[in-house]
Amino acid sequence: MSEPVRSKTVTVDVDGTSYEREVEARKLLIHFLRDDLDLTGTHIGCDTGNCGACSVIVDGTLLKSCMMLAVQADGTRIETVEGLAGDGELTPLQQAFSSHHALQCGYCTPGMLMSAKYLLDSNPEPTEGEIRKAIQGNICRCTGYVNIVEAIAAAAK
């Protein structure tokens, strides 16, 4: 019986930059982004896939980067919060989060923004119910979601 592969070379494109790294086979994508690539804009809030702070978009699919191994992301294109504003110009969604006070501590915000972006990309005019459903996998402990829902609705307009 052959030994399992302990590590693997992984190539990913994150927010337009290509990275190639030798990665432990069991490393989670979120820890790869944060610890290996120093892309700390995406956060971790739990260890069970519940909180959504680590949400990113991988090849067009919204997912929680703590629920994917880094080696599974080999060859993919990953979008994170750090790539939303090109040249420091906030997107309408980011601006709406600020204008509507949709963030307090800002810890859930990176994941919340990616979930909201994913929603609006596929459903430009969501109802309030659709907005709440779209972010139900993202926990916020500061806002009670009131202003987050408002901000996403405002950005959709």
> Are 102 and 143 spatial neighbours (Cβ–Cβ below 8 Å)?
yes
Please, which of residues 10-49 interact with another protein by CB under 8 A? 24, 26-27, 31, 34-35, 38, 40-48
Question: Which string of x and - marks every residue 61-100 that binds another protein (by CB under 8 A)?
Answer: -------------------xxx-xx--x-x---x--xxx-
> Are 115 and 97 spatial neighbours (Cβ–Cβ below 8 Å)?
no
List the alpha helices (DSSP H) in 4-145: 29-31, 92-99, 109-122, 128-134
Q: Cα separation of 45 and 138, whole Å?
A: 10
Nearest approach, Cβ of 117 to another protein (angstroms)? 12
Per DSSP, 121 falls in state: H
Please, which of residues 93-152 interact with another protein by CB under 8 A? 94, 97-99, 101, 103-110, 113, 131-133, 135-149
Q: What is the binding site for another protein (CB under 8 A)? A: 24, 26-27, 31, 34-35, 38, 40-48, 50-51, 53, 80-82, 84-85, 88, 90, 94, 97-99, 101, 103-110, 113, 131-133, 135-149
